Amino acid sequence: MIIASNLTKRFGKLKALDDVSVNFMKGECIALMGPNGSGKTTLIKSILGMVVPDSGFITFNDKNILRDWQYRRHIGYMPQIGRYPENMTIGQVIAMIKDIRSPYNTAFDEELIESFGLNAMLKKRMRTLSGGTRQKVSASLAFLFNTDVLILDEPTAGLDPVASEILKEKIKAQIKKGRLVIITSHILSDLDELVTQVIYMQEGKLLFHKNINILRNETGQQKLARAIVSVMHNQRS
C-alpha cells in the first residue's frame, strides 16, 4: 500500500533519514519505534508529503506521491503536537477541517468526539484547552474521515487512562476493518495489544522490521518492551 524506497533526508549536516526502505501493507498495525531523534517523525512527515526527501521516493497504491497529492485524502493523521488557530473554538476547528476535506470525505465518524465528551466543549477556544483535551481534538480529527490509513504520532501521550483506553479500542476497531495503522509511541505497554509489525529506527537508519510474533518467538519475550531490549542486547553482543 505504501512503499518507501531508499529515502534520505538531510537537515544541514544531520541525516534524519539514511537510505530507509520500508513497506506498509493494508490490515497491519505498525509500531514505529526508536530513540528520540531517530527519524520516526521525519519518516511519517515524508509519507504525508510534509517533508520532501533529498533522494529516494514513496509510492501510495503504486503511484509516486510527488505526482499525486490526492492520496492524502486516504490518510487520517494525528500529529505529535497539534497546532490550531488558537482563537477558534473546538467546534469551529472541527467544522473547518470537515470543510477542507470535503468533498472527498463526507461519511464522518464522530464516535471519538462523542466518547471524549467534546460535544459539551464545542464552544471552548483552543487556547484555553489543557494538553490532554488538545490531544483529544487531534485524535478525533484523525479518525473523523473513515480513512484507509491512520498515522498516529504519540497518540496516547498526555491522555488520561480512560481516554487512552477509548483511543486504543478505536485503533483496534480500525485494524479489524483491515485498515493500515502506523503508530509511534514511547509508551510501549500501549502498543503490546495493538501491533502486528515492529519497525525500529536508530540515527536515521532502519535497524529492523519484524512481525510481532516472529519478534516474540525469536526473543522468547511476550512484552514488546522486553523483546526490544533483548534484540538490542543481541545486536550489541
Ligand X SMILES: Nc1ncnc2c1ncn2[C@@H]1O[C@H](COP(=O)(O)OP(=O)(O)OP(=O)(O)O)[C@@H](O)[C@H]1O
Residue 104 near residue 112, CB atoms below 8 Å: no
User: Which listed residue (2, 18, 31, 34) binds ligand X by CB under 6 A?
Assistant: 34
Q: How many residues bind ligand X (CB under 6 A)?
A: 11
Examine residue 53 and tell whether it contacts ligand X (CB under 6 A).
no
Q: Is the peptide bond before 155 cis (omega within 30 degrees of 0)?
A: no
Q: In the complex, what is the shortest distance from the CB of residue 159 to ligand X, in angstroms, rounded to a whole number? A: 17
Neighbours of 46 (CB within 10 A): 23
Please spell the DSSP secondary structure of 174-219, one letter per residue: HHHTT-EEEEE-S-HHHHTTT-SEEEEEETTEEEEEEEHHHHHHHH
Q: In the complex, what is the shortest distance from the CB of residue 49 to ligand X, in angstroms, rounded to a whole number? A: 15
| CA-closest candidate to residue 152, choices 48, 51, 59, 76 | 76
Residue 25 or residue 81: which is nearer to ligand X going by CB? 81
Examine residue 82 and tell whether it contacts ligand X (CB under 6 A).
no
Q: In the complex, what is the shortest distance from the CB of residue 132 to ligand X, in angstroms, rounded to a whole number? A: 18
Residue 144 or residue 181: which is nearer to ligand X going by CB? 181
Q: What are phi and psi of 159, to 5 degrees?
A: -85, 145
Examine residue 182 and tell whether it contacts ligand X (CB under 6 A).
no
| CA-closest candidate to residue 139, choices 131, 180, 68 | 131
User: Which listed residue (13, 36, 99, 176) binds ligand X by CB under 6 A?
Assistant: 36
User: Which listed residue (42, 135, 147, 156) binds ligand X by CB under 6 A?
Assistant: 42
* Interface ranges with ligand X (CB under 6 A): 11, 14, 16, 34, 36-42
